[in-house]
Structure 1
Amino acid sequence: MGVVTPRAVTSPKQDRSRATRQKLLESAVACLAAHGWSGSTVSVVAEHAGVSRGAAQHHFPTREDLFTAAVEYVAEERSEALRGLRPQGRAEAVAALVDLYTGPLFRAALHLWVAASNEPALGGRVAELEARVGRETHRIAVRLLDADESVPGVREVVQGLLDMGRGLGLAHLLTDDGARRERVVSEWAGIVDRALSRQGGC
């Protein structure tokens, strides 16, 4: 008979610990999106998560520990959202990509960028993870738009779309101007489609 490898078993205590950690990360993102860096203390996050400050500090001894983990969590959630996009056609792809820049994950990421510019403990990690998410966003955008980057100018078209989406995300911090954004996105969808339709040299 072969050797039977015991299956990993988690205890209820381990499950509760993981659930608490997840709550804290989700709350850190929500608090950043709602209150920014200055208003997102460990106490505020713990209260939002429904756990004690002591429990929060058990998982994340310092504020920097908590928000460094939150940076990683936001980056992974944004990547998951990207990988889950299933638009039909270029117009839907443009709208879906722009939507990624106007949701709570991007809002939280913006607050992390601002915090990282003044917090050395966060700066390097934020820059590293944002570079990774940026590369993945561009790669997935190329696939969704059926873009051929070997054609001169196509890479710039794709990057211009992503830069535009990021700009709309910044504007969304100040006001929810959905109607104007919808018109801008519709126009850009036409621009992108016309530019990429010339890929074959027609």
Structure 2
Amino acid sequence: MRQRLLDATVECLVERGWSGTSTTLVSERAGVSRGAQLHHFPSKSALVLAAVEHLADVRGVELREAAAALPSGDRRTRAVLGVLADHFTSPVFTAALELWVAARTDPELHEAVGPLEQRIGRETHRWAVELLGVDEARPGVRELVQATLDLVRGLGLATTITDDTRRRARILDEWARVLDDRFQAGADRP
């Protein structure tokens, strides 16, 4: 039941946004009673935060699985960028974006979203370092990893308005070349 509620919440956030998502709509979509929904999640904020956190955990598993299929050598950086771009164009990102916008003017939601986003941001940064196989102790590497995440996040944001697939691919191709040059053609990699 909890899983159905979480899945229905994400679907509503993606389809209808924060303002169009209600606990009643989520309960109906999940096929559970309003009382059962309230038992698990006493407020809309609690429900939505749990759903986004759950999706982030699921996406973390998906990222680890995708990492196993990544090539080594020259094509690895571009493949990693593709995995990260997929993450930032997924329903997880869309749902999180709805929360960010709503939290800007909702103090209760803002207080709850901040720590969740910090945790997810740290985990995503750690995944990027791991997938790229770089050493953050080297000068500038941490900043390049963060710039990469900022880049793919921005590309994900652009995709919410229009299909930006072709432009995104060209940008990621070029950024992969920049990273490979900076990381000395894979010298950082184990």
Which of 99, 118, 129 is equivalent to 1:142?
A: 129
The equivalent of 1:13 in structure 2 is none
Contact kept, 8 Å, 1:148 with 1:154, in 2: the verdict is yes
Distance 1:40 1:99 in 2: 24
The equivalent of 1:73 in structure 2 is 54
Q: Which has the larger radius of gyration?
A: 1
Runs of 4+ in 1 over 3 A off after TM superposition: 198-201
Distance 1:110 1:93 in 2: 22
TM-score (norm 2): 0.87
Contact kept, 8 Å, 2:18 with 2:98, in 1: the verdict is yes
Q: How many residues align?
A: 182
Contact kept, 8 Å, 2:52 with 2:92, in 1: the verdict is no
Letter in 2 for 1:52: S
Distance 2:112 2:43 in 1: 16
The equivalent of 2:110 in structure 1 is 123
Instruction: Report the secondary structure of 1:82's partner residue.
Output: helix
Distance 1:151 1:74 in 2: 32
Which of 14, 37, 53 is equivalent to 2:34?
A: 53
Cα RMSD between the aligned structures?
A: 1.9
The equivalent of 1:96 in structure 2 is 83
After TM superposition, the structure 1 stretch with the greater mean CA deviation from structure 2, 27-36 or 58-67, is 58-67
Identity %: 49
Distance 2:48 2:131 in 1: 32
Which of 178, 182, 193 is equivalent to 2:169?
A: 182
Contact kept, 8 Å, 2:136 with 2:142, in 1: the verdict is yes
State the 1:200 CA deviation: 5.2
The equivalent of 1:5 in structure 2 is none
Structure 1: any 5+ residue segments left out of the alignment?
1-19
After TM superposition, the structure 1 stretch with the greater mean CA deviation from structure 2, 61-70 or 95-104, is 61-70
After TM superposition, the structure 1 stretch with the greater mean CA deviation from structure 2, 75-84 or 153-162, is 75-84
Structure 2: any 5+ residue segments left out of the alignment?
none
